[in-house]
Structure 1
Amino acid sequence: SSEAGVNQGLILAGGVDQPVGEFHSSMQLLETGIFDRAGFKRLHVAGHPEGNRDIDPDGSDKNVMDALRWKQKFSETTDAKIAMATQFCFEAQPVIEWANALKAAGVDIPIHIGIAGPAKLQTLIKFAIACGVGPSLRVLQKRAMDVTKLVLPYEPNEILEELAAHKAANPDFNIEQVHFFPLGGIKTNAEWAIKNGGDAATPVNQA
């Protein structure tokens, strides 16, 4: 990392049925200590506000929560700052309930909430299904039923406004940043973020 100037990493296990190589989880990779030795200053791990069927096929959150408790302990022993970058979703209330449940379980890794950037509705539905987005997919399905909105691009104003209002009323709410998935294009996402105050009001990432 010193040669390339890279000091942050997003550590994901992926969603393949059979592991490729020696590692089958992101935790195994973290356990090697390679990121500490390489001087990484920030590491991002995965978060799943609506669960993950690859990790918990039965629809529970047992394995996901076990992994997050492990990552919480890891965050307390590494010099790198740890944050949780999440899957994108479309409803604020499930995110709020999930973040509060994590905190109640002793997991206080800062959350970088995944938000789908502006895009055509058909594009978002395609990506949401492919990525295993959970019940909040109904927001897009409901929108698709409204012919007056069908041809208009989706914009994440509603979910972000609700999360921002909750954060303002609850300063200890554990969402620290917004992590955009620019599914409609990076330029489109950047222009939307600037227009809506994301450049000054809230730290954002695009990936």
Structure 2
Amino acid sequence: MLNLLKGRTETVATDDRLIADFLSGFSIEVMPRTAAKVEDFRALLPQGTRVYVAHIEGTPIEEMVATAKRLRDEGFAPMPHIPARIIKDAAELEEWLVRYTQEAGVDQALLLAGGVTQPYGAFDSSMKMMETGLFQKHGLKRLHVGGHPEGNKDIDADGSSAIADAALAWKQAFAQETGVEMAIVTQFAFAAKPIVDWAERLRNAGISLPIHVGIAGPAKLQTLIKYAISCGVGPSLKVLQKRAMDLTKLMLPYEPNDVVAELAAWQAEHPEGLIKQVHFFPLGGIKTNAEWVNGRLDAVK
């Protein structure tokens, strides 16, 4: 019995180590209005953490820049979203980049098409912004782009991935030509298999960009289902729906224990794979998310 317990303890310790290794260097995102409620990010996140600043339609650029500056001043690496479809033209894009770099010390950004259906002006995709050369002109050294393990009907209306795949190949070529550091940041999903299958398919197709896997942080089940449906999460939504059918779990908060453990184990077994880091969507609050991650990092100290 003692030997069995010892073996079990060693297995748990190994699993904890794999999870901590996988979570190490995680990133997380905030919006200006949620960041304003955080008294001090230094009490929540490891110093140097990359913090994405989500730009929701209607948010003034002044609030975005101020949030990025605050994060930089507190010792973090701000990465603002640059949503193509809410930018009128190259002049406005350059104005934003000047403000981010000069006022907030920003040297990285997440480039997205953006959630609006009708573009405000000249840009309908991140590629159109990249073609301007403005990111290189203003010294942005790292550009991240979006990925969709379970597909995106807004990009490929026929349910395939042809357009999305071609866009990733174009962006990889752009990174190689310009020397900019690039990674793919994914939409969140609730199961490991579709993420792994997608990552392996991309690798087999010649994509070599590292993947930062989007994970929804701990939150109420109803909150997650609402966000998942609005964000177009695919088949892995069934994980939440199945949980909602279990009355013993319905009122309990969701935590991403299973998906993180499975991805951590897969990454450890496949170091050649594209999956490299974790990016958290703190749908249940940044404090709750940070405490969940810190608990797993602290478990192996």
Q: Which structure has the greater CA radius of gyration?
A: 2
Deviation at 1:200? 8.2
Letter in 1 for 2:296: N
1:46 aligns with 2:46: no
Instruction: Supply the distance in 2 between the matched residues of 1:39 and 1:180 (Cα, whole angstroms).
Output: 26
1:6 aligned residue? 106
Deviation at 1:152? 0.6
After TM superposition, the structure 1 stretch with the greater mean CA deviation from structure 2, 118-127 or 192-201, is 192-201
Q: 2:162 aligns with which of 42, 62, 66?
A: 62
Contact 2:224-2:283 at 8 Å conserved across structures: yes
Deviation at 1:199? 10
Instruction: Supply the distance in 2 between the matched residues of 1:152 and 1:198 (Cα, whole angstroms).
Output: 24
> Matches of residues 109-124 of structure 1 in structure 2 within 5 Å?
109-124=209-224
> Matches of residues 98-109 of structure 1 in structure 2 within 5 Å?
98-109=198-209
Instruction: Supply the distance in 1 between the matched residues of 2:120 and 2:206 (Cα, whole angstroms).
Output: 32
Deviation at 1:198? 7.9
Instruction: Supply the distance in 2 between the matched residues of 1:68 and 1:32 (Cα, whole angstroms).
Output: 18
1:26 aligned residue? 126
2:187 aligned residue? 87
When residues 6 and 86 of structure 1 are mapped into structure 2, their CA distance, relative to the original with a 3 A threshold, is same
1:173 aligns with 2:265: no
Instruction: Supply the distance in 2 between the matched residues of 1:24 and 1:181 (Cα, whole angstroms).
Output: 24
1:162 aligned residue? 262
Letter in 2 for 1:167: Q
2:136 aligned residue? 36
Q: Secondary structure at the match of 2:143?
A: strand
Contact 2:192-2:263 at 8 Å conserved across structures: yes
Q: What root-mean-square deviation, in Å, do the aligned CA atoms of Structure 1 and Structure 2 show? A: 1.5
When residues 26 and 40 of structure 1 are mapped into structure 2, their CA distance, relative to the original with a 3 A threshold, is same
Calculate the TM-score normalised by the size of structure 1.
Answer: 0.94
**Unaligned ranges ≥5, structure 1:** 202-207
Q: More helix per residue: 1 or 2?
A: 2
Instruction: Supply the distance in 2 between the matched residues of 1:24 and 1:92 (Cα, whole angstroms).
Output: 31
Q: 1:151 aligns with which of 220, 231, 251?
A: 251
| Pairs aligned (count) | 201
**Unaligned ranges ≥5, structure 2:** 1-100
Letter in 2 for 1:20: Y
Deviations, residues 4-63 of structure 1 (Å, cap 9, x unaligned): 200110100013222111111100101111111111121110000000000011111111
Contact 1:120-1:184 at 8 Å conserved across structures: yes
Calculate the TM-score normalised by the size of structure 2.
Answer: 0.65
Q: Secondary structure at the match of 2:187?
A: strand
1:130 aligns with 2:230: yes
Deviation at 1:173? 1.3
Deviations, residues 144-190 of structure 1 (Å, cap 9, x unaligned): 00011101100001001101101111111111110000000000000
Letter in 1 for 2:143: L
Q: Secondary structure at the match of 2:229?
A: helix
Contact 2:267-2:276 at 8 Å conserved across structures: no
Contact 1:36-1:79 at 8 Å conserved across structures: no
How many percent identity over aligned positions?
62
Contact 1:2-1:38 at 8 Å conserved across structures: no
